[in-house]
Chain A
Amino acid sequence: AQSVTQPDIHITVSEGASLELRCNYSYGATPYLFWYVQSPGQGLQLLLKYFSGDTLVQGIKGFEAEFKRSQSSFNLRKPSVHWSDAAEYFCAVAPSQGGSEKLVFGKGTKLTVNP
């Protein structure tokens, strides 16, 4: 069964600092990969997705993620964090061979941004 691991439950960074959130997945083949953000009291918003092709994908709000097949990872990055980025971030995977409606989420990483 596919699974997603986000090793960091909580990360704190200073505003303007760079950010990297880790995501590792377990799946037999290369799945579809996603990052979502959830602001306090809100639903989830899709940041970016990887289906195939270029392993570095650009998303909204200045985020990017890099797919590394050898490490089964899909880490999220941002060069300079803004206070408004404080939120919870979820990595998710779905099978690429049909069944992509069956999204499996990691447990999330909560990001705190210090002024």
Chain B
Amino acid sequence: EAQVTQNPRYLITVTGKKLTVTCSQNMNHEYMSWYRQDPGLGLRQIYYSMNVEVTDKGDVPEGYKVSRKEKRNFPLILESPSPNQTSLYFCASSLGVAGPHKYFGPGTRLTVL
């Protein structure tokens, strides 16, 4: 089954404690992205990756890092989380440059205290 998986699905942490949210897709997609969703703001792109070792900033990259060492994985790293990073996070993947992000992960709800 084609899917994008994220772990963990729920996470409560404290300010400053480094964390990683994993994202994996089994479709051999080139393009992957991270979004955050906040009430009244819709989805905003954090980072995206066009292929292995190729990443770029989206609209709200501050406070986040990503890496793309393998095609299937695109982890999101918060080196020093802060309360304003409390949000619902989605990973997405698509096949090629002209394709929309058709496949979204189930989401990770992060709370930073």
Residue among B44, B90, B101, B102 with most chain A CB within 10 A: B101
Contact pick for A105, options B44, B94, B106, CB 8 Å: B44
Q: Which residue of B lies closest to A106 (CB)?
A: B42
**B48/A43 in contact, CB under 8 A:** no
Q: How far is the CA of A44 from the CA of B102 in the complex (A)?
A: 8
Collect the chain A residues with CB atoms within 8 Å of residue B97's CB: 98, 100-101
Q: Are B100 and A43 in contact (CB-based, < 8 A)? A: no
B100 touches A105 (CB 8 A): no
Please state if B105 and A43 are interface contacts (CB–CB under 8 Å).
yes
Docked-complex contact A108 and B42, CB < 8 angstroms = yes
Chain B minimum-CB-distance residue to A46: B102
| Cα–Cα, bound, A45→B59 (Å) | 22
Known contacts being A34-B100, A100-B98, is A107 close to B50, with CB within 8 Å?
Answer: no
In the complex, the number of residue pairs spanning A and B with C-beta atoms less than 8 Å apart equals: 58
26 contacts between A and B (CB under 8 A): A9-B40, A32-B100, A34-B100, A42-B107, A43-B4, A43-B90, A43-B104, A44-B104, A46-B100, A46-B102, A90-B43, A92-B43, A94-B100, A100-B97, A101-B50, A101-B94, A101-B97, A101-B101, A102-B48, A103-B33, A104-B59, A105-B35, A105-B42, A105-B44, A106-B42, A108-B42
Question: What is the interface of chain A, defined by CB distance below 8 A to chain B?
Answer: 9, 32, 34, 42-46, 49, 51, 90, 92, 94, 98, 100-108
